[in-house]
Amino acid sequence: MSAIARFRPILAVLALLGLAIGLAWASARTLAALGKWLGIDTPDGNLIAGLGVGTSEAIAAAILAGVVVLEIATRGFAASTPGRITRSLRPTHRSDLFFALAAVTALSPMIALIGTLGAGMAIRQAIDPSAGWRLSADWPLWLAVPATFVLGDFLAYWVHRALHRDAMWPLHAIHHAARDLTPMTAARGHPIDDFLVNLPGPVVALLLGAPEHAVLSVQIAVFVHSAVSHSSLPFPLWLERGLLAGPRLHRVHHGVRREDHDHNFAILPAWDLLFGTYRLEPGAPPPSGVEDPRYDTGNPPRDLVVATAIWIGGLASMAGSAIRAGRAIARRATTSIRPAETPAGTGR
Ligand SMILES: [Zn+2]
Ligand SMILES: [Zn+2]
């Protein structure tokens, strides 16, 4: 028994690695089959298929590792993510490591990236390009990339705001539950949340005719930005004043209190400034996390299941209240009709 107990952590790591490799293989095969079924057979389509079967894991791993190395170089080991994790491995770190492992095995959020890009390409192929959808087909890359980025961030801003509404918060809270932000928190998210936030930008850009490689490069840039804004890298204050959100603005967004986390939704602070949701805290950031103790327990698969159940339960109770309200309106309408009918019937 004691020998098994001694080897249990090693067995757990091996089992986790085996599971990760198995899932990566299954997701790659599924993506390749899906691409074939959708008939994506262009040079860009092949690029996407190629990313699905291996490169996306490498990109995600390189981005996360790169930001961590920069943290160590600029902040020193003790203040960096590996320094904090080795000093005290908290449940929040275990969750971040789980989601980072999922990201580097092409599951999430890269799977959402490729899934949405694939969806966009499939929709675009279904619509006749000569029908006038491909407005930006001849746009040069130097214009297509920034235009795709600005458009995608505008759409993601509104999706992100919607994810903060009561109906969607139980899913989005998985991302917000991190109590210590690390670059790996960028990968932490419910798959439905990842899919919804990644969907509109690429789909609309592709429908407007943006080249696939422009859309893909923007999605990779978005992931780099996310890793940086969850890190403890030094970030110029002047950039966060209106040009580009960074760790300072994003830490306010991760505040436990609603009056904090309902701010700074976009990568480009211009959208938050324009729609009244911008907040800069030059001092110490508010504590991160969510109040609900059912999140960030250190057991992310269970947290995902619980979050999904809370979300479905919430939607069901909202639908129940809507039905009850509808019935009450219908009842009031019938009773307000009756008095008019009654004198006519009983007065004679
Ligand atoms: Zn949020
Ligand atoms: Zn975040």
Output the CA–CA distances (angstroms, integers) from residue 110 to 45, 46, 118, 210, in the order listed.
Answer: 16, 17, 12, 20
Q: Does 297 map to a domain?
A: yes
Q: How far is the CA of 268 from the centre of ligand 1 (A)?
A: 15
More confident position, 57 or 247: 247
Ligand nearest the Cα of residue 265 is: 1
Q: Is residue 336 part of a domain?
A: no
Residue-number span of the structural domain to which 127 is assigned: 19-321
**Structure confidence by residue, pLDDT tens digits, 20-44:** 555 555 555 565 566 566 555 444 4
**Distance of CA 42 from the midpoint of ligand 2 (Å):** 35
Domain contains 335: no
181 domain residue, yes or no:
yes
User: What's the gap in Å between 262 CA and the centre of ligand 1?
Assistant: 7
pLDDT at 86: 87
Q: Omega into 109 within 30° of 0, i.e. cis?
A: yes
- pLDDT-based confidence at 145, cuts 50/70/90? confident
Instruction: Supply the pTM of this predicted model.
Output: 0.76
- 188 within some domain: yes
Rounded-to-integer distance, Cα 112 and Cα 58, Å: 16
148 CA distance to ligand 1 centroid (A)?
22
B/e letters for 272-307, b = 16+ CB within 10 Å, e = fewer, are: beeeebbbbeeeebbebbbeeeebbeeebeebbebb
pLDDT tens for each residue of 257-303: 999 999 999 999 999 999 999 999 878 899 999 999 999 998 999 99
Whole-number Å distance, alpha carbon 229 to ligand 2 midpoint, is 8
In a domain, 346, yes or no: no
pLDDT greater than 70 at residue 343: no
User: Helix, strand, coil % (nearest 5) of the chain?
Assistant: 70, 0, 30
Count the domains in the chain. Answer: 1
Note whether residue 238 is domain-resident. Answer: yes
Q: Which residues contact 73 (CB under 8 A, 6 or more apart)?
A: none
pLDDT tens, 181-239?
999 999 899 988 988 888 888 888 877 878 777 777 788 888 889 999 999 999 999 99
Q: How far is the CA of 252 from the centre of ligand 2 (A)?
A: 10
Separation of 18 CA from ligand 2 center, angstroms? Answer: 29
Residue 339, pLDDT above cutoff 60: no
pLDDT of residue 200: 86
Does a structural domain hold residue 72?
Answer: yes
